Amino acid sequence: MLQFSLKQLPVLLTLSIATLWLTGCSDRIGVAEQAMDAIRNEPAQPIEPPPKAELIEDFVYSASMLRSPFLPPSLVNVQAPEASLDGVRPDLTRTKEPLEQYEIAEMTFRGIVISPEGQQYALIQRPDGSVASVKVGDYLGLNDGRIVEITPTQINLIEIVPDSRAGFVERPQSLVSPIS
């Protein structure tokens, strides 16, 4: 007959639980291995053929001469008079302004200042940390970006960029204040 002291009881309970737990794990692992072997031994199921491609009729966009829904009205009014029969072209005879040597993304719009005469100026921080002031009609960025509107939160401009047909198009661009 086995006799156990009370001091040995926690150790025996721990060993008993560990033995049962390990036995249960080995049974579950064995069951999982058997199920995986059964799946591996089944014949491969046929794969459905892909659906037939539907022929879609060409769509002709007929609203190309209408106002873009993605342009704010303030930019559309400024953009329309510049379109000509010859197309849009950058003015190569115009003297470049100091802020036209930086990418738009390199500059930061810091705020606006209004002169005593009522002229509104935007403060632009250059990549070197210095600050310059600009007004509507000035240029900035590498793509002949002409400022058309200054608001408390952003500067709207129209850039002249090359298009895919060896010409140029006007594209709206904004320099947004990081503090909105």
The residues spanned by each domain of the chain are 104-176
> Per 3-state DSSP, what percentage of the chain is helix, strand, and coil (rounded to 5)?
30, 25, 50
Q: What is the pTM of this model?
A: 0.51
High-pLDDT (> 90) share of the chain, %: 29
Between 116 and 88, name the one with better pLDDT.
116
CA torsion 95-98-99-101 (nearest 10°) is 80
High-pLDDT (> 70) share of the chain, %: 76
DSSP 150: E
Q: Which two tokens stand for residue 162?
A: 């090359």
Residue type, 108: T
Contacts of 107 (CB under 8 A, 6+ apart): 99, 124, 125, 126, 127, 140, 141, 175
Cα 97 to Cα 118: distance, rounded to the nearest angstrom:
23
What is the arithmetic mean of pLDDT over 130-155? 91
* Tens of pLDDT, residues 5-25: 666 666 667 777 766 666 555
CATH number of this structure's domain 104-176? 2.30.30.830
Residue type, 152: P
Most confident of 51-60, 63-72, 116-125: 116-125
